[in-house]
Structure 1
Amino acid sequence: MSAAAQLTHREHIFNQEVITRFELYNSLFLTLPFYQVKDTGILLPFFSSFCEKETAKLKSPSEIIESFFEEYVPNTDEREHINRLFRFIQYIERQVVLFDAIEDSSFSKLNRPEDTGTLQNLIQQATADDSLRAKISEKLKNFSLRLVLTAHPTQFYPSTVLGIMTDLIDALKHNDINDINLLLQQLGKTPFFNKTSPTPIDEARSLIWFMENTFYYALASIKTRLAEVFDIDDIPNPIFELGFWPGGDRDGNPNVRTNSTQTVAATLRQIIFRCYYRDFRVLKRRITFRGVEEPMHQLESLLYENAFSPKPDAGNLQNDMLDLLQQIKHKLIDENYGIFVDLIDDLALKIKLYGCYFATLDIRQDSRILRKVYDYGLQQPELFNGVTTEYDNLPEDEKLTTISFNEVDYACQLGGDDVSDKSDEAMIKDTLCTIRLTHTIQQHNGEKACHRFIISNCQEASDILQLMQLFLWSGWKKEELYIDFMPLFETVNDLKNAAAVMKKLYTHPYYQEHLKLRGNRQMIMLGFSDSTKDGGYLTANWSIYQAKVELTAITKEYGIELAFFDGRGGPPARGGGKTHRFYAAMGKEIANDHIQLTIQGQTVSSQYGSVETAKFNIEQLVNAGITSALHPEHHDLLDENHKRLIAEMADESYRLFMDLRHHPMFTQYLENLSPLKLLPNANISSRPTKRNGDAPLKLEDLRAISFVTSWSQLKQNIPGFYGVGTALQKMKETGKWQEVVDLYKSSGFFKTMIDNCMMSMSKADFRITAHLAQDEQYGTFWTMLKQEFDLTKALLLELTGTKELMQDYPIEKRSIATRERIVLPLVIIQHFALNRLNQTEDKELKDTYSKLVIRTVYGVVNAGRNLV
Structure 2
Amino acid sequence: MPVEPKLTRFKQNVLSKYQIYNSIFMTLPFDAISKTGVLLPLFHETCKKGFASGDDPTTIVDTFFKKYQARRNRESQINLLFRFIQYIERQVVLFDAIEDAAFPIVNNMEGIGTLRNLKESTVSQNKLDELKDYLEHFKVRIVLTAHPTQFYPGSVLGIITDLTEAIKTNNLNDINNLFGQLGKTPFFKHKKPTPYDEAVSLIWYLENVFYKSFGEIYNYIQQNIFIDTEVHNDIINIGFWPGGDRDGNPFVKPKTTIKVAKRLKQAILKCYYNDLKALRRKLTFRNVEERIINLETIMYNYSIDLGYKEAISVEEFKKELIEIRDIIINNHQSLYLSEINNLINRIHLFGYNFATLDIRQDSRIHHNVFTTVIDNLIKIGHPSFPKNYHDVPEEEQINILSKVDSSNLIDIDVFEDEMVSNTLKTIKAIKEIQGTNGELGANRYIISNNQTALNMMQLFAMLKIVAFDDELTVDVVPLFETITDLENAPAVMEQLYTNPVYMAHLKSRGNKQTIMLGFSDGTKDGGYLMANWGIYTAKEKLTEISRKYDISAIFFDGRGGPPARGGGKTHQFYASLGPTIEDKEVQLTIQGQTISSNFGTHDSSQYNLEQLISSGIANRMAKQQSAMSDEDRFVMNDLAETSYEAYKNFKGHPMFIPYLERMSTLKYYAKTNIGSRPSKRGTSDKLVFSDLRAIPFVGSWSQLKQNVPGFYGVGTALKAYEDKGEFYKVEHLYNNSKFFKTLLENSMMSLTKSFFDLTKYMSKDEEFGAFWNIIYNEYITTKSLLLKLTGYKELMENEPSGKASIEVRESIVLPLLTIQQYALKKIQELEKEAVKDTEMIEIYEKIVTRSLFGNINASRNSA
1:115-162 CA distance string (max 9 Å, x none):
222222111113334x31010001111100000001111123222211
Looking at structure 2, the residues matched to 383 and 10 of structure 1 have their Cα atoms a distance apart, in angstroms, of 71
Quote the residue 1:184 is aligned against. Answer: 179
Alignment pair present for 1:376 and 2:368: no
Alignment pair present for 1:409 and 2:439: no
Quote the residue 1:781 is aligned against. Answer: 771
User: Which of 542, 546, 562 is matched with 1:551 structurally?
Assistant: 542
Change (3 A) 1:314 1:22: farther
Alignment pair present for 1:587 and 2:578: yes
CA drift at 1:109: 1.4
User: Which of 353, 357, 360 is matched with 1:357 structurally?
Assistant: 353
Quote the residue 1:324 is aligned against. Answer: 320
User: Which of 34, 39, 50 is matched with 1:38 structurally?
Assistant: 34
Show structure 1 runs of 5+ residues with no match: 417-423
Looking at structure 2, the residues matched to 111 and 719 of structure 1 have their Cα atoms a distance apart, in angstroms, of 29
Quote the residue 2:335 is aligned against. Answer: 339
Q: Which moved more, 1:645-654 or 1:287-296?
A: 287-296
User: 2:302 touches 2:308 (CA, 8 Å); kept in 1?
Assistant: no
1:295-318 CA distance string (max 9 Å, x none):
223311221122223329998821
Change (3 A) 1:852 1:123: same
Q: TM-score, normalised by structure 1?
A: 0.96
User: Which of 276, 289, 293 is matched with 2:285 structurally?
Assistant: 289
1:374-429 CA distance string (max 9 Å, x none):
11121123573474566455433222123242213123369x9xxxxxxx921111
Looking at structure 1, the residues matched to 476 and 745 of structure 2 have their Cα atoms a distance apart, in angstroms, of 35
Q: Which moved more, 1:712-721 or 1:336-345?
A: 336-345
CA drift at 1:673: 1.1
1:191-230 CA distance string (max 9 Å, x none):
2221111111111111111111111111110111111222
- Structure 2 counterpart of 1:647, which letter? N
Looking at structure 2, the residues matched to 825 and 391 of structure 1 have their Cα atoms a distance apart, in angstroms, of 63
Looking at structure 2, the residues matched to 444 and 287 of structure 1 have their Cα atoms a distance apart, in angstroms, of 30
Quote the residue 1:760 is aligned against. Answer: 750
User: Which of 373, 392, 417 is matched with 1:425 structurally?
Assistant: 417
Alignment pair present for 1:195 and 2:190: yes
Alignment pair present for 1:692 and 2:682: yes
1:549-587 CA distance string (max 9 Å, x none):
000000000111121001110000000001101111111
1:270-669 paired onto structure 2 within 5 Å: 270-311=266-307, 317-381=313-377, 382=380, 384-385=382-383, 387=385, 391-392=389-390, 394-403=392-401, 404-407=403-406, 408-412=408-412, 425-477=417-469, 479-634=470-625, 637-669=627-659
Looking at structure 1, the residues matched to 624 and 294 of structure 2 have their Cα atoms a distance apart, in angstroms, of 53
Alignment pair present for 1:14 and 2:10: yes
Change (3 A) 1:90 1:867: closer
* Equivalent position SS for 2:523: helix
User: Which of 834, 846, 855 is matched with 2:850 structurally?
Assistant: 855
Change (3 A) 1:653 1:312: farther
- Structure 2 counterpart of 1:500, which letter? A
Looking at structure 2, the residues matched to 834 and 316 of structure 1 have their Cα atoms a distance apart, in angstroms, of 60
Looking at structure 2, the residues matched to 646 and 746 of structure 1 have their Cα atoms a distance apart, in angstroms, of 11
Looking at structure 1, the residues matched to 471 and 589 of structure 2 have their Cα atoms a distance apart, in angstroms, of 28
CA drift at 1:166: 1.2
Looking at structure 2, the residues matched to 384 and 28 of structure 1 have their Cα atoms a distance apart, in angstroms, of 74
* Equivalent position SS for 1:819: helix
Q: Which moved more, 1:439-448 or 1:229-238?
A: 229-238
Looking at structure 2, the residues matched to 746 and 211 of structure 1 have their Cα atoms a distance apart, in angstroms, of 40
CA drift at 1:32: 0.9
Looking at structure 1, the residues matched to 644 and 318 of structure 2 have their Cα atoms a distance apart, in angstroms, of 55
CA drift at 1:547: 0.2
Quote the residue 1:736 is aligned against. Answer: 726
Show structure 2 runs of 5+ residues with no match: 831-835
Quote the residue 2:833 is aligned against. Answer: none
- Structure 1 counterpart of 2:452, which letter? E
1:446-472 CA distance string (max 9 Å, x none):
000100000101111111111011111
User: 1:313 touches 1:444 (CA, 8 Å); kept in 2?
Assistant: no
Looking at structure 2, the residues matched to 693 and 155 of structure 1 have their Cα atoms a distance apart, in angstroms, of 24
Give aligned pairs, total: 853
Quote the residue 1:259 is aligned against. Answer: 255
CA drift at 1:627: 1.9
Looking at structure 2, the residues matched to 36 and 384 of structure 1 have their Cα atoms a distance apart, in angstroms, of 72
User: 2:222 touches 2:230 (CA, 8 Å); kept in 1?
Assistant: no
User: 1:295 touches 1:327 (CA, 8 Å); kept in 2?
Assistant: no
* Equivalent position SS for 2:213: helix
* Equivalent position SS for 1:250: coil
1:16-165 paired onto structure 2 within 5 Å: 16-129=12-125, 131-165=126-160
* Equivalent position SS for 1:379: helix
Looking at structure 2, the residues matched to 642 and 344 of structure 1 have their Cα atoms a distance apart, in angstroms, of 53
CA drift at 1:730: 0.7
User: 1:135 touches 1:630 (CA, 8 Å); kept in 2?
Assistant: no
Change (3 A) 1:316 1:538: farther
CA drift at 1:327: 2.9
Looking at structure 2, the residues matched to 386 and 752 of structure 1 have their Cα atoms a distance apart, in angstroms, of 51
1:264-298 CA distance string (max 9 Å, x none):
11111111111111111111111122222442233
Looking at structure 1, the residues matched to 639 and 388 of structure 2 have their Cα atoms a distance apart, in angstroms, of 44
Alignment pair present for 1:673 and 2:668: no
Quote the residue 2:795 is aligned against. Answer: 805
Quote the residue 1:420 is aligned against. Answer: none
Quote the residue 1:228 is aligned against. Answer: 223
